[in-house]
Amino acid sequence: MRILVTGGAGFIGSHLIDRLMEQNHEVICVDNFYTGHKRNLLRWKDHPYFEVIRHDITEEIRLEVDQIYHLACPASPVHYQYNPVKTIKTNVMGTLNMLGLAKRVKARFLLASTSEVYGDPEIHPQPETYRGNVNPIGIRSCYDEGKRVAETLAFDYHRQNDVEIRVARIFNTYGPRMLESDGRVVSNFVVQALRGNPLTIYGDGSQTRSFCYVSDLVEGLMRLMNGDHLGPINLGNPDEYTILELAQAVQNMVNPDVALKYEPLPQDDPRRRKPDIVLAKQLLDWQPTVPLNQGLERTVDDFRQRLGATDELPEPSVAAS
């Protein structure tokens, strides 16, 4: 099968490409390398079934493919807030272009949506039927509302043009190849601990997240793409941890001597986040298998190998998710 992965040089996209290549598919990676890196794809360099195209999906592209995994968009607050207009253009115009491609070539289209469509949720855990509590004019809205519009476009293309769609709502995901300065809480804590710097906790640390290891997420995406269900379907780990608990886990694993430092909570930071994955279990026969401690160990090892000596590690950016 000939498969397009937008954002394929990124954290999740490159792991997905690994799985698709291992299954002997012909894979095309489209990426503008805003947050993606070629190093994530070196394993497949010069492979006859693999192609990389440097391209911004806000501009139209013509390809012949059977499936489209649409992952292209900055996903960490630091990156999507750096250029919010670009972020929403990617979510709206980029998704329009990819859906248009899917319509023309009759490809199946999977949208990598996000748990951020639920905003700061008033229902816990969050089922797919919950319509969310999103601030439409806040500093996160370029991403939150952008993904909500992307979902709207996907379902409208399905209803109006019979495009085969799949919509995944991805909850916090972590693992090897995360950017060291992307502002996500796992990478921030790991980098700070490796440097011997205090772990920065925003708020009092009582806000919760669920952390899904990247291999589990990729398995869920592939099952959704190749199954019979449109979605939206939540993909995430229902094990819920406070930010303080995560900080203490990283502290104990990497450097028990590092201190904890508390800073004010960023605007619109969700208080609780936990996926209801009943639909994923029922319809995809999917649930996460990698426990947090095991996933953190692999993530820490990757940062050590990739970034080398402690004094070479860059200072993390603000963690807001």
Q: Over the chain, what is the mean pLDDT?
A: 91
Q: With H, G, I as helix, E, B as strand and everything else as coil, classify residue 279.
A: helix
pLDDT tens per residue, range 213-262? 999 999 999 999 999 999 999 999 999 999 999 999 999 999 998 999 89
Residues 143 and 249 in one domain: no
User: Considering 220, 235, 250, which residue would you say is the last residue of a domain?
Assistant: 235
- In this structure, is residue 286 part of a structural domain? no
CATH number of the domain within which 94 lies:
3.40.50.720
- In this structure, is residue 247 part of a structural domain? yes
pLDDT of residue 317: 45
- In this structure, is residue 45 part of a structural domain? yes
Q: Per-residue confidence at 14, pLDDT binned at 50, 70, 90?
A: very high
Residues 148 and 255 in one domain: no
Helix 243-254 / helix 185-195 crossing angle, nearest 10 deg: 30
pLDDT of residue 81: 79
Q: Which of 34, 143, 213, 241 is catalytic?
A: 143
Q: With H, G, I as helix, E, B as strand and everything else as coil, classify residue 103.
A: helix
Segment 126-142 mean pLDDT = 91
Query: How many angstroms separate the most distant Cα atoms in the chain?
Result: 59
pLDDT at 271 over 60: yes
Residues 37 and 90 in one domain: yes
Residues 99 and 248 in one domain: no
Residues 125 and 37 in one domain: yes
144 in Cβ contact with 117 (< 8 Å): yes
**Closest CA relative to residue 58, chosen from 118, 141, 146:** 146
Q: Measure Cα distances from 311 to 200, 255, 263, 305 in Å.
A: 18, 15, 24, 14
CATH number of the domain within which 186 lies:
3.90.25.10
pLDDT at 113 over 50: yes
Predicted model pTM: 0.91
Q: Which amino acid is at 236?
A: G
Residues 102 and 140 in one domain: yes
- In this structure, is residue 321 part of a structural domain? no
d(CA 317, CA 181): 5
Q: Residue 296's domain spans which residues?
A: 179-210+239-271+291-312
Residues 95 and 204 in one domain: no
Residues 59 and 199 in one domain: no
d(CA 162, CA 160): 6
Residues 148 and 267 in one domain: no
- In this structure, is residue 285 part of a structural domain? no
d(CA 99, CA 165): 9
- Percent of the chain clearing pLDDT 90 (strictly above): 74
Segment 146-169 mean pLDDT = 98
Residues 12 and 114 in one domain: yes
pLDDT at 307 over 90: no
| Total number of domains constituting the chain | 2
pLDDT of residue 80: 76
Residues 144 and 255 in one domain: no
Is residue 262 annotated as part of the catalytic site, yes or no?
A: no
- In this structure, is residue 27 part of a structural domain? yes
- In this structure, is residue 284 part of a structural domain? no
pLDDT of residue 268: 63
- In this structure, is residue 277 part of a structural domain? no
187 in Cβ contact with 302 (< 8 Å): no
Residues 188 and 98 in one domain: no
